[in-house]
A and B are shown apart, each in its own frame.
Chain A
Amino acid sequence: MSKQTLLDESNAALSQNKGDRRKFLKFSGAAIATTGILLSGCQEVFEALPNARTEGKGPAMRSVPLGKGDIGILNYAYALEQLEAAFYLQVVATMYSGISESEMVMMEDIKNHEVAHRDFLKAALGKNAIVDLNFDFSSVDFSDRDSVLATAKVFEDLGVAAYNGAGQLLESPDYLLIAGKIVSVEARHAAAIRSIYDNDFTSFAGDDIIDANGLDRAFSPTTVLEAAAPFIMNKIIANQLPTS
């Protein structure tokens, strides 16, 4: 069977599944923002559905092991930056209706930053870099401001929590510094997106994410990848990542 045929088949399987998927994502939207646990439950339900994407065999369904040690953590970061870059590339390609001049500049800037992060990590990883991932943004209405900004908010806050949690998993101080250089830019994004999206002047560093000690969130790779899974068509294999 040719490659193209395989791809066509997997695409057909995907679109057949789209309805269920869309419903699932709508239902779980709130859960993505706050907890990994609930989402994780939904994810299991989804994977049990007929034609679930993880059962496909086409290139888009390819399983992607992140690897181990610092390389694994950098690939984990690279996967998240690929996700963010793909999202914002779509945002700027089809700017939502009624977008203001300043918001257009902000989206263009953030797109540039995520692409730079993605391209840098790919180059830094060299031959150890994971493949280009395939994404599913069918749950996002790119013509709708609320849909785009709600998704951006989830991605940026998740990115911050991911890097905060990954720092202690790195062995090399050089990689730790690079993660530090990136995470504060993600936090700057998160604050800006929250500031223009939420109708709350304190949201840029709101009580929903900053705890009573004044600390931002720090998530394990497992929690982050569960939250990101609905948007990533590949199955990410993270079982070799360091845990401390």
Chain B
Amino acid sequence: MKILEVLKKYDIKTEELDAFTSRREAFRKLASFGKSVAFAAIPAGMVAGSTQNASAAHIPTVINVLNFALTLEYLEGEYYTTGINSPGLIPAGKDMAIFETIEKHEVDHVAFLKAAIASYGGTPVEKPTFDFTAGGNFSPFTDYEQFLILAQAFEDTGVRAYKGQAGNLIEENSALTAALQIHSVEARHASEVRRLRGLKGWITQAERGTGMPAATQAVYNGEDNLIQGGVDVTTVTPIGSDGITESFDEPLTTEEVLTIAGLFIAQA
């Protein structure tokens, strides 16, 4: 089944709307729980401040965005879980420590998003069947170089995907903040995987980087943008265009992300 169909199939049903208020409250508690435990310094007012009395009109959009994110997290989660359990693939020590850390976060994101979607009255999408060979073109679980290549592609895609959805969550503060908190974790992962591959942690121009096959270029197209908020940044700073493009990560649209992720979803 194509990923778009998967997402459509689980669209919000109208009879679930009544349950929003209480479930949204549950999500807020969930979202604030981890923060309040781990970071006592967060003022109580900030967590409480995320409560909005907006109508439920935007909630179907929020649920769709969270299901979209969940699909990406399923992909990443299964990828790393399979990777760290493939004997002889990931070198022990530094590399394994890095990928175990990343895997833990992706699995945590899956659980968190499922709970969040349910708390808004939505139904979490089921995990698609993945094909990480992309139809026989990659062999990431027997070839470590390829494992690293796809890891970089997935992380850099994840950063751009969350960024592209932020605007769709602007009416729902708790979901927006949680999505931003996942977004920056993906960016930390991306930086680390890139550096493990010998690249810089940031993206220069629209370069996919040494060793990345042309098939991954879609992940980097558009990263060479120099116009931010209507300002041609080259005209307001002495920093050169390489530096400017590194300074701003660019979003991907839903369609662009699904085209990339769709390569790794087995067709029914």
A contact set with B: CB distance below 8 Å = 34-37, 106, 109, 112-113, 115-117, 119-120, 122-124, 160, 163-165, 167-168, 170, 173-178, 180-192, 195, 201-202, 204-206, 210-220, 222-223, 243-244
Contacts and interface: CB of A to CB of B under 8 A. Distances in A.
A220 B185 contact: no
Nearest to B178: A215
B34 A223 contact: no
A99 B237 CA distance: 27
A168 B181 contact: no
Given A120-B236, A212-B108, 19 more contacts: A34-B41, A113-B239, A119-B236, A119-B238, A123-B233, A124-B229, A163-B184, A183-B180, A188-B202, A189-B201, A191-B191, A195-B195, A205-B188, A211-B35, A211-B39, A214-B105, A219-B46, A243-B45, A244-B49
A204 B45 CA distance: 29
A168 B43 CA distance: 15
A86 to B, nearest CB: 15
A113 B181 CA distance: 21
A210 B248 contact: no
B191 A202 contact: no
B166 interface: yes
Contacts of A122: 236
Contacts of B43: 220, 222-223
A214 B42 CA distance: 17
A136 to B, nearest CB: 23
B24 to A, nearest CB: 15
Nearest to A120: B233
B163 A184 contact: yes
B52 interface: yes
Given A115-B237, A120-B236, A124-B229, A201 B188 contact: no
8 closest Cβ contacts across the A-B interface?
Answer: A214-B108, A119-B237, A112-B243, A187-B187, A201-B97, A215-B181, A184-B187, A188-B191
A160 B67 CA distance: 25
Given A182-B248, A211-B38, A216 B191 contact: no
Interface of B: 30-31, 33-35, 37-43, 45-46, 49-52, 93-94, 97-98, 100-102, 104-109, 111-112, 159, 162-163, 166-167, 170, 173, 176-178, 180-192, 195, 200-202, 228-229, 231, 233, 236-240, 243-244, 246-251
Given A109-B246, A160-B184, A216-B181, A223 B233 contact: no
A176 B38 contact: no
Nearest to A112: B243
A213 B192 contact: no
A178 B243 contact: no
Contacts of A184: 159, 163, 183-184, 186-187, 190, 249
Given A113-B243, A178-B229, A123 B236 contact: yes
Contacts of A115: 237-239
A88 B202 CA distance: 17
- Of B93, B100, B187, most A-chain CB atoms within 10 Å: B187
